Chains A and B, each alone.
Chain A
Amino acid sequence: MQKSSLYLLSGLLLLLILLMLNISLGSVTIPLKDILASFFNAEVEKETWRYIILDYRLPKAITAVLVGSGLALSGLLMQTLFRNPLAGPYVLGLSSGASLGVAIVILGGAVFGGVFSTLFLSKFTLVIAASLGSVLVLLAVLATSFRVKDTMALLIIGLMFASLTSAVVSVLSYFSPSESLQKYIFWSFGSLGNLAWQEVFILAIFWLAGVIISIFCIKNLNALLLGEKYAKSLGTNLKQNRILVILGTGLLAGSITAFAGPIAFIGLAVPHLVRQVITKSNHLVLFPAVALGGAILMLICDSIAQLPGSNLTLPINAITSLIGAPVVIWLLVRKKKLYF
């Protein structure tokens, strides 16, 4: 236990360092003392710097932490619930479900017009639609998972749901005006930077709700490591636990996708990367470690996306895939078996 707390502490320290690094990077170079000064409301050389730090870079960094930790946690929850080391919010189609929700809000509003569009305008509806989309896809995958015992079949079913939802999105976009289509395409690139404080706040509320629900699943998730029959013999209420896990992951993956776009591989890769360092399977230890790991990896990806020293910002989704896909392939081709 003490060794794990040491790891957590150093992870926390690393997170803080990366957070500072992330804030200090960007198209405008701002000296460290002015960055600190803008935090503590002290004298800053240029007033625009304060604005850049407090209203652009800080919310972006916080979003990165929320997005990374939330996706990594939902990956961990999925892997244990399905007892499948390759499960994750992206591969199981949760992100696609959320995309469908968002597409219905952005594109459907234009297609159906009238009351529909005014009803769907606010950010809250976007998040709720995305969360609903995730939960629905998750329920569908879960329903089919009872019929297939095969690890690979489950992933293919996830893929099928993903292509099903993207087909619906294609149909919607075919009928949409170019303006809303552009809006949707930009959203689908994924971005951490376009969030105002108010939106970060909404995301944080959904994140917190998802995390709290997941914390109540920790004990049951440990029992599920042995399989459902053992879990039941240990007094686990399987149905209730399933509902809580679905709700928790749906809220996390849905709200994150609504604000940051579909982001791949963080949910799948981070739990495995963390298991390389922390050898325990107890979710009480894994849970904070995976959350920290996700936040750290996301901050790194976002710092790379800035392309230090240039005016360009690359789509975050591309960066996580560029880093995440090779990591997953490496984990798979190693001789060591991949565990859940």
Chain B
Amino acid sequence: MIKETEIKPILQAQELAIGYADKIVAEEISVEINAAELVAVIGINGSGKSTLLKTLTGNLDPLSGKVSIQQKSLKDITVQELSELISIVLTETHFSQNLSVEELVALGRQPYTNWLGQLSSEDKKAVQQALQLLELTDKSQRKCGSLSDGQLQKVFLARAIAQETSLIFLDEPTTHLDLYHKIFVLKLLKELTRKTQKAIVFATHEINLALQLCDQIILVNQGKIIQKTPEELINSNLLQELFPKDLVEFDAASKSFRVL
């Protein structure tokens, strides 16, 4: 895909080794994420997707190598500074259902508010813009406990938008959603990258959808982490080797997995 705008790198990782003290998950990783890109992280269960995301978001130190965000090493960035660079959307459901949609989105402004967390007029404007962008304005006073999973996903996305970071990380944003809403959320993510110039990175099991919608794919498989465009990935042999060959195979012609 040819991009109309100039490529602006936001996150770079070189010669990265990730894992825990007693176990290396993957080595020799290089990843580059640019502005206005939608990037999917795919891989089988337990392959190390979440270890990679934890490392890239600064929640886990790399074993070696370095991650830099906007030319600054992640190691030198404090928790406060990081909150203005990266926002996250998790699968976690243990949050206060008593929060109204507007209150939850407004929490995204915390990095910018004073010590009591009071919203300035600028903060309020950012919250309203985020609500508008995700078409939530008419639901702003609803309690989060009364929303469906799909709507809730939009609310958390609006919160991440309101945080005004150049990077948004999402952990499996399409779980618990039906096919229609899966496509709805992923198309929405793509639209957001175009509208806001933010880079959005998400872990997913929806490989078929990711191949159709994303600009870049990061494939995590058997200790190797490879970043490619969907076209490069389809033309390579990598997807054929992703799963054991007894049940499923990748068909390059239709760009999708097929049950054998």
Contact = CB atoms under 8 A, between A and B. Distances in A.
A83 B94 CA distance: 8
B116 A284 contact: yes
A282 interface: yes
A313 B84 CA distance: 58
A230 interface: yes
Contacts of B145: 337, 339
Contacts of B59: 232
Contact of A225 (B80, B83, B96, B143): B96
A285 to B, nearest CB: 10
Given A230-B90, A284-B116, A235 B79 contact: yes
Contacts of A230: 88, 90, 92, 95, 107
Interface size class for chain B? Answer: 20 to 34
Contacts of A226: 95-96, 104, 107
A234 B111 contact: yes
Contacts of A215: 116
A231 to B, nearest CB: 9
B94 A227 contact: yes
B83 A337 contact: no
B103 A280 contact: yes
B95 A227 contact: yes
Contacts of B95: 83, 225-227, 230
Contacts of A340: 96, 98
B113 interface: yes
Given A222-B107, A230-B90, A235 B98 contact: no
B67 interface: no
Nearest to B113: A219
Contact of B107 (A229, A234, A237, A339): A234
Interface in B201-257: none
A281 B79 contact: no
B117 interface: yes
Contact of A284 (B83, B86, B117): B117
A229 to B, nearest CB: 6
Contact of B103 (A216, A232, A282): A282
B79 A284 contact: no
Given A234-B107, A281-B96, A340-B96, A222 B79 contact: no
B97 A339 contact: yes
B161 to A, nearest CB: 14
Nearest to A84: B94
Given A218-B116, A233-B83, A234-B107, A337 B92 contact: no
A162 interface: no
Contacts of B84: 235
Given A234-B107, A235-B83, A281-B99, A219 B88 contact: no
A222 B117 contact: yes
A242 interface: no
A325 to B, nearest CB: 23
A234 B83 contact: yes
B30 interface: no
A286 B93 CA distance: 23
A223 interface: yes
Contacts of A235: 79-80, 82-84, 110-111
Contacts of B83: 233-235
B96 A279 contact: no
Interface in B97-130: 97-100, 103-104, 107-108, 110-111, 113, 115-118
B99 A225 contact: yes
B90 A229 contact: yes
A83 B95 CA distance: 8
Given A229-B92, A233-B88, A284-B118, A223 B97 contact: no
B108 to A, nearest CB: 8
Contacts of A337: 97, 145
A275 interface: yes
Interface in B47-81: 57, 59, 79-80
B189 to A, nearest CB: 18
Interface string A285-313: 00000000000000000000000000000
Given A234-B83, A234-B163, 8 more contacts: A216-B115, A219-B116, A225-B107, A227-B94, A229-B92, A230-B90, A232-B59, A275-B98
9 contacts: A83-B94, A218-B117, A219-B113, A219-B115, A223-B107, A230-B92, A236-B79, A339-B98, A340-B96
Interface of B: 57, 59, 79-80, 82-84, 86-88, 90, 92, 94-100, 103-104, 107-108, 110-111, 113, 115-118, 143, 145, 163
Instruction: Enumerate the 5 nearest inter-chain pairs by beta-carbon distance, A residue then B residue, closest first.
Output: A235-B83, A339-B98, A219-B117, A225-B96, A234-B110
Interface of A: 83, 215-216, 218-219, 222-223, 225-227, 229-230, 232-237, 275, 279-282, 284, 337, 339-340
